[in-house]
Structure 1
Amino acid sequence: MRGTLVILVSVFVRIAFAQHPNELLFEHYQLQTASLGKLSIHVTKTLGAKKQKPLLLYLDGSGNMPIFYKRRPNRYFTSVPLDIKRYVDDYHVVLISKPGVPFSDSLHYAQTGQEYYPTNAEYESRYSLDWRAQSASQVIDWLLKKLPVDRSQVIVLGYSEGSQVAPRVAVLNKKVTHVVCFVGNALNQFYDFLLTTRLQVEKSELTPEQGQTIIDSLYTQYAAIYQSPTDTKRYWYGATYQKWASFCTTLPLESMIRLSIPILYIAGGRDHNQTILDMDYAKLEFIRRGKDNLTYKVYPYCDHYLQEERIVEGKLAKKDRLNEAHQFALDWVKPLKR
């Protein structure tokens, strides 16, 4: 159960299903590879005549949760916040399971009642930025041979940690035509912990001495991780040193800068999981370099899940902007079709 709490809060758990969706929406494939092991691929079913459609590869966030999972009492949730049914007619929507993790399963419960999903040796040994990016690239190549794909729209969309992976996939695979990054950091993920601590000091949530003690301890921890970048036996915040080192060595912004294809970057102005201060820098860097292929869209009042809260006429108003943001992303792709 190591790191269970961190894993559970980092995945998207807002969408519930009354019935199990896997046989209703998806066809399942397995691709055995020499370097990455078994890749479990899930593609939305095409009803009727097979027509050419864009390929939409959706990369979910962090953690070892199944893509669909059952919680008590008999309700199904997903780590993928896309309203998939809305897009099955117009896109080949593709999902990839984490290594060693099933497409769907039930959560486990500790004696305390706490929910968790157990890790396994394959997940622990393989999970990294490299595994996610390389597996996605190989899946794209394989599906382009198998499916009738409109190759003018091979879209990689990543949410949260998946947002860090998406630009790396496009660097590896030149068949990708569009990259969409939802609420993921642009800079070193370790930097976010430093920023958060400094902001806590600024808001008087910590004293300057307390903040500096935390900062110093973070640098000590980061040094240990970078000194053992392939260590799968030591953990920090519920993940192996290998996972942290891989995601904090090749930076998302470095991959973005290497791309000339269109990139859409979506942020929540009140995101407490991923500080927008990190994300803002990506737009500045593109301007500094004279690159014009990044579109930066900010929802000022939204959190990490694109849930909006604001005061309107003295009252708290809430609005779910998630579906709107996904539609904005896919509408953004369409005018760029050649």
Structure 2
Amino acid sequence: MMFRLYRWAGCLLLLWLTTGLNAQPVTPADYHLNAYTLHDAALGDIRYYVSNEGLQTKKPLLILLDGSSHLPLTLLVKQPRRMEVMNTFDHDLLKLANRFHVVMISKPGVPFCDTIQVQRDTVTMEDVDRLLPMPYIYRHKGGLEWRAEAASRVIDAVCAKFPVDAGRVVVYGYSEGAQVAPKVAVLNKRVTHCASVFGSGLNQLYDFIHDARLEAVKGHISYEAAQRRIDSLLRQFEDIYRHPQDTRKDWEGNTYQRWASYGAEPPVQQFAQLDIPLFVVAGIHDTNSPVYSLDYLPLEFLRLGKKNLTYKVYPVDHFFRNTANPRDTTDYKSQMLTALLQWLKVR
């Protein structure tokens, strides 16, 4: 079902580092990051992290916006015989610190690292879900507005604090972050390039409706059952839009406030407001961020006569795997990063 996909869609390339009982990489410094906090009257504390390689060297700025859920950037999992570390950020992008000032931002009320303890030597995402409750602050602020406004403020802070090449201020978002990225670019005119990987073009609530129709087309359910599901979904969405600020009511693991914030303005409307270069990536086999939603973007840009969209589609799922051909060993992630750097004209 879609809720699981949405709930954990942000866990890109979860990296488990098994190192027994030795010291674990759980601090920003362990990843060559410096930690900073902005104290904002409206948003509260904004925790962000800047790569410390060449910190006083003038370089382009790369803001990384991770995916959904209240997972920290680093999670320490204590097991009976060992400890493991899970990262929800993309190490391949962090490696670009030799070319960019790379910046990551924690979700509201979420620390850089948190810890859970399990009673066996394996752990599942269901374990994480059960043992890592949603923080109070995240529940009340974890929507599109906070993430976009926070990223905009971080851009201003980093540009004021460090030597940034003002000609290349890049916002890169993945999954939920890919829907935040164009909003950041609309808010902050310092942004010169916007990259959106496995995000959405349409209202993400529409994915649930489309999923029901597709289940019927595939013969998994009857057309009548699909219609009943859609009627139920529309009643649910009506309730969400009637209570867009409600942080007590949940649906599919997220608050009404979170759903309403991302459903208030479809990403295509934000993309269409931008005249800066746009780099959008979709996966043919991605069931988390269905390609049809992103296919709408180039059509809309053709209608508007806009020429600033680069649209790349790869034969992969949400994690750059070609699930239709398990024998395919092509490194599509590297292909995408190469295309991204060429688009940015960065060597």
Q: Normalising to structure 1: TM-score of the pair?
A: 0.91
Q: Residue 296 of structure 2 aligns to a residue in which SS?
A: helix
Map Cα deviations across residues 190-241 of structure 1 (whole Å, 9 max, x no partner).
Answer: 1111111111110101111111111001000000000000000000010000
Q: Cα–Cα, structure 1 residues 177 and 203, in superposed 2: closer, same or farther, change >3 Å?
A: same
Between 1:137-146 and 1:107-116, the stretch displaced more is 107-116
What is the aligned partner in structure 2 of residue 88 from structure 1?
97
Q: Residue 273 of structure 1 aligns to a residue in which SS?
A: coil
Identity, % of aligned pairs? Answer: 38
Q: Cα–Cα, structure 1 residues 141 and 292, in superposed 2: closer, same or farther, change >3 Å?
A: same
What is the CA–CA distance in structure 2 between the aligned matches of 1:129 and 1:180, rounded to whole Å?
17
1:70 deviates by 2.0
Alignment of 1:67-86 (within 5 A): 67-71=73-77, 72=79, 73-86=82-95
Stretches of structure 2 that go unaligned for 5 or more consecutive residues are none
Alignment of 1:134-153 (within 5 A): 134-153=149-168
Q: Residue 119 of structure 1 aligns to a residue in which SS?
A: coil
1:9 deviates by 5.5
Stretches of structure 1 that go unaligned for 5 or more consecutive residues are none
What is the CA–CA distance in structure 2 between the aligned matches of 1:83 and 1:304, rounded to whole Å?
16
1:321 to 293, 310, 332: 332
What is the aligned partner in structure 2 of residue 107 from structure 1?
116
Asked if structure 2 preserves the Cα contact closer than 8 Å seen for 1:108 and 1:115, the reply is: no
What is the aligned partner in structure 2 of residue 282 from structure 1?
297
Aligned residues: 329
Alignment of 1:102-181 (within 5 A): 102-109=111-118, 114-116=127-129, 117-181=132-196
**Is residue 2:22 matched to residue 1:39?**
no
2:316 to 293, 296, 302: 302
What is the CA–CA distance in structure 2 between the aligned matches of 1:324 and 1:205, rounded to whole Å?
35
Q: Normalising to structure 2: TM-score of the pair?
A: 0.89
Q: Residue 266 of structure 1 aligns to a residue in which SS?
A: strand
Q: Cα–Cα, structure 1 residues 81 and 46, in superposed 2: closer, same or farther, change >3 Å?
A: closer
Amino acid across the alignment from 1:50? Q
What is the aligned partner in structure 1 of residue 58 from structure 2?
52
Alignment of 1:175-214 (within 5 A): 175-214=190-229
Amino acid across the alignment from 1:228? H
TM-align CA RMSD: 2.2
1:307 deviates by 1.3
Amino acid across the alignment from 2:152? S
Asked if structure 2 preserves the Cα contact closer than 8 Å seen for 1:7 and 1:64, the reply is: no
